[in-house]
Structure 1
């Protein structure tokens, strides 16, 4: 299965979620490869920091920020149960290639007025990809949700009947995720019983059900 985290808007948490989903599957013993399709290379930087810290490798990270991604990703998928793509912001050609490569597109968004983050361009690219990939599945993922905030509840309600719909599992506003970006670790390696670890496990389980 190839899962791509995509959003035209930067700073919504694509890299953090991509790394943690890959890590969640890897800790379950599944072979996983993460493709860093963002020219900024944040996932590659995380992987290099992990190596500098002497931490064991959980999954492979491959830099592939080019518009031939849809032709190259299936080759990588032969050696892994799952491929996770950390997608690029605002690069339409790379975005199209990632969409054509994916079996499931996850669109991270933060609680905010609907028109602020569900860009017409992103949804237009998704519909365009479905001309060639009619079975392409997609879901919004609510990220950085403040606990019990009105705006988080209203955002979830707005997306309840939307196409694409929103995952039931969501990610809270957690300092732990910022810490992992600097340390080359993942939240379950810092605290196996933390809310952040449980939230990532819930995302992994729900995405896994979509794949079955």
Structure 2
């Protein structure tokens, strides 16, 4: 069992979109997956409720003390994906403490990059007392296809000394269109969106592999 948190204290960074599609990508690969909605706004809950046939299970744990009990609940799943809250420091801290991997989505905007600063500092402080856990990395989201913004953001993120995923999540209408129906890009006829989501999940699994070897 591995716990993946998708965190960024700034709202609108694409956390719920990435969380739900990442969970579905892992499910498509044959893994058992649980989504945890840790945001009091309940965006992931709204997404889940919009479809009667959603293959992914979801629970709401929107208090820090509840998140601390997640490990026992998650033992029955291969992967748990936490959709992180915005601005709630105690909740974000609780998610980091239970996670094996933290994915930090950032838009191609200086505001998103600046907003990640405190989060990165907290992750690194946690790593210092846990022999490097959780592992963490950035993913650049909402890239406009055909622009250089993705590479520019990568350069700006270098100062944080955390990996940046090779995969970027492109601004595509298929993401909000499927979300409004409680679905994901795996339910749509959009090969590019499915490919980039699958590539992202593969990168995360590759970064998690050393953690699983250590546990074994």
The CA deviation at 1:69 is: 4.2
Residue 86 of structure 1 corresponds to 83
The runs of 4+ residues in structure 1 deviating greater than 4 Å are none
Residue 146 of structure 1 corresponds to 144
Task: Specify which of 135, 138, 145 is matched with residue 137 of structure 1.
Answer: 135
The CA deviation at 1:113 is: 3.0
Q: Unaligned stretches of 5+ in structure 2?
A: 210-216
* Structure with a larger share of its residues in strand: 2
The CA deviation at 1:160 is: 4.7
Aligned residue pairs, count? 207
Counterpart mapping for 1:57-206 below 5 A: 57-113=54-110, 116-135=113-132, 136-160=134-158, 162-191=160-189, 193-206=190-203
1:74-118 CA distances to partner (integer Å, 9 max, x unpaired)? Answer: 112210000000011000110110000100000000112377544
SS in 1 for 2:77: coil
SS in 2 for 1:119: helix
Asked if the contact 1:114/1:155 (under 8 Å) is kept, the reply is no
Asked if the contact 2:10/2:112 (under 8 Å) is kept, the reply is no
Asked if the contact 2:54/2:183 (under 8 Å) is kept, the reply is no
Query: 1:159 & 1:116 partners in 2: Cα distance?
Result: 7
Query: 1:71 & 1:110 partners in 2: Cα distance?
Result: 29
Query: 2:116 & 2:159 partners in 1: Cα distance?
Result: 17
SS in 2 for 1:171: strand
Query: 2:155 & 2:114 partners in 1: Cα distance?
Result: 15
The CA deviation at 1:121 is: 1.9
The CA deviation at 1:154 is: 1.1
TM-score (norm 2): 0.89
Query: 1:121 & 1:157 partners in 2: Cα distance?
Result: 19
Asked if the contact 1:21/1:204 (under 8 Å) is kept, the reply is yes
Asked if the contact 2:9/2:115 (under 8 Å) is kept, the reply is no
TM-score (norm 1): 0.91
Q: Unaligned stretches of 5+ in structure 1?
A: none
